[in-house]
Amino acid sequence: MPNKHAVLSASSSHRWISCPPSARLCAAAGDRPSPYAQQGTDAHSLCEFKILSALGRACADPRENLTFLDSEMEACTDAYCSHVMEQYEDAKRRCPDPLILIEQRLDFSRWAPSGFGTGDCIIVTDDVLQVIDFKYGLGVHVSAEDNPQMRCYALGALDAYGSIYDISTIKMTIFQPRRDNISTSGISRDGLLSWADAVLSPAARLAYAGSGELKAGEHCRFCSAKASCREYAGYTHEQAARDFMPSDADKRP
């Protein structure tokens, strides 16, 4: 059984690209699972079941083992399943033998040591590689634009299937039903590979070695090392000071 959480995981890539030392610091701090994470896991299990069933593939119904199953989760996963099946039908019209992969392990270790992640849905055709990610969270509106997680998944899929399909374009979609958000972004194959060489690989080398500079920002939100991070403490202090700073309008007599 492979290690479920890579030090350089796709899902945390925004954080370790921005702050390379955070990869090793988080690995040392360990996971702190939240109820929200379990809710997301439940929703993903239901998505997988519904799509595999729609594709006519065998999959056990997970409902009786889900902690957070409710009518909202049923509706959101139905909507996601419909979206994926529409995209797959469209792919079948464009390509005689499209490939659809659900909950697929994607290895992007060519650019990041031991880097891997699990893609919710990958559709591969000649010309277009499509990556679709389901987000059940409500808190943060997630955009597919310049999204490192999606690009890491795309790299893993490109590495695995780029020699079988003639891929020239990557289409990445975030499906976030509880925020009424379907965000799509595209990049050329060459553009993706250039980003991997210029941005991902250098940051991954530093992150894997536990070196580089600490850098705080909005990417600290999900960092499990932030309780003991001085850089983060300074950042929050600055933010608080800025919030209390009188505005120009306040200074006018």
**Gap between the Cα atoms of 149 and 146, Å rounded:** 9
Interface with ligand SF4 (CB under 6 A), residue from 216, 240, 243, 249: 216
The region of 41-49, 127-135, 195-203, 211-219 touching ligand SF4 under the rule CB under 6 A is 211-219
* Binding string, residues 155-194; x marks residues near ligand SF4 by CB under 6 A: ----------------------------------------
Site for ligand SF4 contains 17 (CB under 6 A): no
Q: In this chain, which of 22, 103, 116, 160 binds ligand SF4, going by CB under 6 A?
A: 22
Question: Which of residues 18 and 176 has its CB atom nearest to ligand SF4 in the complex?
Answer: 18
* Shortest distance (Å) from residue 135 CB to ligand SF4: 20
Name every residue whose Cβ is closer than 8 Å to that of residue 148 and which is 6 or more positions away in sequence: 10, 13, 14, 17, 200
Nearer to ligand SF4, 26 or 122 (CB): 26
Q: What is the largest CA-CA distance in the chain?
A: 72
Q: Which one of 25, 46, 131, 152 is in contact with ligand SF4 (CB under 6 A)?
A: 25
Task: Name the amino acid, one letter, at 169.
Answer: T
Nearer to ligand SF4, 106 or 207 (CB): 207
Token duo for residue 230 = 């001085």
CA 207 – CA 222 distance, rounded (Å): 16
Complete DSSP assignment for 75-130: HHHHHHHHHHHHHHHHHHHH-SS-EEEEEEEEE-TTTSTT-EEEEEEEEE-SEEEE
Distance (Å, whole) CA 43 – CA 99: 23
The least CB distance from residue 48 to ligand SF4, in Å, is: 30
Site string for ligand SF4, 229-248 (x = CB under 6 A): x-xx----------------
